């Protein structure tokens, strides 16, 4: 407790004793109120200081770039004619698979703190629980968004350079990069909210994989005529199909179009995140 801080608080050093003789300790380290900015810095340190982050994001980049390029190579070498199919839509499969590592990372951002018990240390250092969750959500969202944006843009550029099909319009570009990135990052945010509610990594990841795949799988097995409407809705609103909307590769002509999928997912995520905030404030940790 010696030198470094004393210049900042010299007046506190000479009077360690209180009038009654009960010494009351005063720290020489300047005290300042912690803010959301501090929490953001902390979460940024946390997310980049574990290997699992690097692994999941690495896998995600490899999937988006690798599968995007492979499909372009396959098309160009086979000399198949793309016809009306938009060139950018070849990035779809890579992004769909790349969503899984993003989901994993989103869940882990919160749930790993519960798994290790770190959450108690964190909430002792910052009793404002909502500030912690807000910081986590912001840091994770920005990381997921930036990485997806860079990789989808890169894939799109390479694809348009390798293949000659219909030249994508500016709107096409915007949806296939910005739209897809916002959608994937929001999906990750939903995972983060679910991870915060479930507080268990494996459980939350399983739920999120189910959310992504189950509607599509269920719809595939609905052969009955009476269920046709439901089947149609499950197809149209399943997450893979909503993602396809950004590439104009939707399986149906009705259902969500344009930027609709983003608003739908944003609504669901907002509800889940709201629940996560409430639960975090109320529950014991």
Q: Which residue has the tokens 């990594």?
A: 201
Contact with other proteins (CB under 8 A): which of 10, 12, 18, 278? 18
Contact flag: residue 45 with other proteins (CB under 8 A): yes
**Least distance (Å) between residue 192 CB and other proteins:** 16
Please tell me the distance from the alpha carbon of residue 39 to that of residue 106, in angstroms, as a whole number: 17
Between 32 and 77, whose beta carbon lies closer to other proteins? 32
User: Count of residues binding other proteins (CB under 8 A)?
Assistant: 48
Residue 3 in contact with other proteins, rule: CB under 8 A: no
Asked if 56 interacts with other proteins (CB under 8 A), we say: no
Cα distance between the two ends of the chain: 33
- The distance of closest approach from Cβ of residue 22 to other proteins in the complex, given in angstroms and rounded to an integer, is 4
Q: How many CB atoms lie within 10 A of CB 155?
A: 26
Residue 61's alpha-carbon distances to 42, 115, 163, 179, in angstroms, are 25, 26, 21, 17
Q: Can residue 70 be called a binding residue for other proteins (CB under 8 A)?
A: no
Q: How far is the CB of 64 from other proteins (least distance, A)?
A: 24
The residue within the footprint of other proteins, chosen from 125, 142, 146, 271 (CB under 8 A), is: 125
| DSSP secondary structure of 246-280 | TTT--SSSSS--TTHHHHHHHHHHHHHHHHHHHHH
**From the list 6, 121, 169, 257, which residue makes contact with other proteins (rule: CB under 8 A)?**
121
Q: What does each C-alpha distance from 226 to 220, 222, 230, 231 come to in angstroms?
A: 14, 9, 9, 9
Residues lying near other proteins in the complex (CB under 8 A): 1, 4, 16, 18-20, 22-35, 38-39, 41-43, 45-46, 49-52, 112-113, 116-118, 120-128, 132, 284-285
């Amino acid at each position: 407790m010696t030198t470094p801080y004393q210049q900042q608080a010299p007046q506190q050093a000479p009077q360690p004793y209180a009038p009654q003789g009960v010494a009351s300790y005063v720290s020489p380290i300047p005290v300042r109120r912690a803010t959301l900015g501090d929490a953001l810095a902390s979460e940024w340190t946390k997310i980049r200081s574990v290997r699992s982050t690097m692994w999941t994001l690495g896998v995600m980049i490899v999937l988006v770039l690798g599968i995007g390029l492979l499909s372009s190579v396959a098309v160009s070498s086979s000399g198949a004619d793309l016809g009306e199919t938009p060139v950018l839509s070849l990035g779809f499969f890579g992004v769909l698979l790349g969503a899984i590592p993003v989901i994993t990372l989103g869940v882990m951002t919160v749930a790993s703190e519960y798994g290790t018990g770190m959450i108690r240390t964190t909430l002792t250092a910052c009793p404002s629980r909502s500030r912690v969750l807000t910081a986590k959500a912001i840091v994770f969202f920005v990381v997921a968004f930036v990485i997806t944006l860079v990789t989808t843009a890169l894939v799109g550029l390479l694809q348009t350079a390798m293949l000659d099909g219909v030249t994508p319009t500016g709107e096409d570009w915007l949806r296939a990069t910005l739209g897809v990135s916002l959608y994937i990052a929001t999906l990750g945010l939903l995972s983060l909210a679910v991870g915060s509610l479930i507080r268990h990594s494996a459980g939350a990841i399983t739920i999120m994989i189910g959310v992504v795949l189950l509607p599509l799988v269920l719809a595939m097995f609905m052969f009955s005529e009476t269920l046709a409407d439901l089947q149609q809705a499950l197809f149209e609103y399943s997450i893979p199909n909503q993602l396809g909307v950004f590439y104009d590769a939707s399986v149906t002509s009705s259902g969500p179009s344009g930027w609709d999928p983003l608003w739908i997912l944003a609504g669901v995520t907002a509800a889940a995140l709201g629940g996560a905030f409430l639960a975090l404030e109320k529950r014991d940790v």
